[in-house]
């Protein structure tokens, strides 16, 4: 068994191992979907590592590298072990092996998200020094079950496509800071995969939504606090639904303290599907 960087390993080999390791998970991704996801999350093969048996990957940690809250971090964009090799501590060994390489790149924080019902993984992460920083809700609903009827709007609003890179001031609309995969940096890594819609009152942007049609993922949605409860979010949801290429709509990693999102989605018949922990370790 040898642990080494994935910098010289081809994409097909990594994707095959990922698909095998997560074969017993509810959500399955094909190679094309994995490539899109990894691009968005900043996957860096040189700073990702795997345990090899002969030439075969049997366990791995795929790391994204980028800035989060102004700090250079590594982000666990996928840790997995093939079923027949589980219970051997390989994930911990790979993590420990990676630390000197991350430090050499001036990375001193490591970020991950983990499903709260995955108690085994949480135990492993706690044991190697990760601490919970936030709790997230995630929402998934079939498109036909979503309530998309729009009530009358008090004032006229215009909905049109925008370039998000020209509107970073929308962060003033936020009730919480987006997670790694929903951050401006992640969106900009794969900007061609997203559609951004803005709601305008006169010429002022008062609400917006960022959507990934190929995954059905609402990446960001927010409304200026002084323009809330006027139906703007409902109109944005209605409009982005026209671009959805799959049968479900998702909204992942909203802070559990943000009741406004929970209540809005509940009114649209999009209930909480589960919860995650965001965890960070200083390295």
- The structural domains of the chain, ordered by start, are 2-107 (3.40.630.30), 139-275 (3.40.630.30)
Is the pLDDT at 264 greater than 90? The verdict is yes
Is the pLDDT at 152 greater than 90? The verdict is no
What integer pLDDT is reported at residue 168 of this predicted model?
Answer: 86
Average pLDDT over residues 123-127: 92
Strand order in the sheet with 217-223: 2-5, 49-53, 56-68, 71-81, 109-115, 272-282, 131-142, 248-255, 217-223, 204-212, 195-201, 158-161
Is the pLDDT at 156 greater than 90? The verdict is no
What integer pLDDT is reported at residue 137 of this predicted model?
Answer: 98
Q: Per mean pLDDT, which range of 88-92, 97-101, 146-150 is the poorest?
A: 146-150
Average pLDDT over residues 244-249: 96
CB neighbours of 166 closer than 8 A, spacing ≥ 6?
A: none
Share the mean pLDDT of the chain: 93
Average pLDDT over residues 43-59: 95
CB neighbours of 180 closer than 8 A, spacing ≥ 6?
A: 41, 64, 66, 68, 73, 75, 111, 113, 186
- pTM of the predicted model, to two decimals? 0.91
């Amino acid at each position: 068994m040898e642990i080494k960087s994935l910098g010289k390993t081809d994409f097909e080999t990594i994707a095959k191992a990922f698909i095998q390791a997560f074969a017993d998970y509810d959500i399955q991704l094909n190679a094309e979907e994995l490539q899109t996801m990894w691009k968005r999350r900043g996957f860096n093969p040189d700073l990702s590592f795997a345990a090899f048996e002969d030439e075969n990957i049997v366990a791995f940690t795929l790391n994204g590298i980028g800035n989060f809250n102004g700090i250079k971090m590594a982000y666990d964009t996928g840790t997995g072990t093939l079923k027949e090799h589980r219970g051997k501590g390989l994930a911990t060994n790979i993590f420990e092996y990676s630390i000197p390489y991350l430090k050499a790149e001036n990375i001193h924080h490591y970020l991950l998200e983990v499903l709260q019902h995955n108690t085994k993984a949480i135990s492993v992460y706690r044991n190697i020094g990760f601490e919970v920083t936030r709790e997230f809700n995630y929402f998934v609903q079939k498109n036909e079950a979503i309530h998309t009827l729009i009530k009358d709007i008090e004032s006229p609003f215009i909905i049109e496509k925008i370039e998000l890179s020209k509107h970073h001031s929308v962060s003033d609309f936020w009730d919480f800071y987006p997670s790694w995969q929903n951050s401006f940096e992640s969106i900009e890594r794969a900007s061609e995969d997203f559609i951004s819609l803005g709601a305008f009152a006169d010429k002022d942007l008062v609400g917006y939504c960022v959507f990934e049609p190929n995954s059905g993922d609402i990446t960001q949605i927010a409304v200026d606090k002084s323009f809330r409860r006027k139906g703007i979010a409902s109109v944005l949801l209605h409009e982005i639904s026209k671009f959805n290429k799959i049968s479900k709509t998702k909204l992942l990693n909203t802070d559990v303290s943000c009741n406004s999102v929970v209540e809005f989605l509940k009114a649209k018949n999009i209930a909480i599907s589960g919860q995650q922990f965001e965890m960070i370790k200083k390295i």
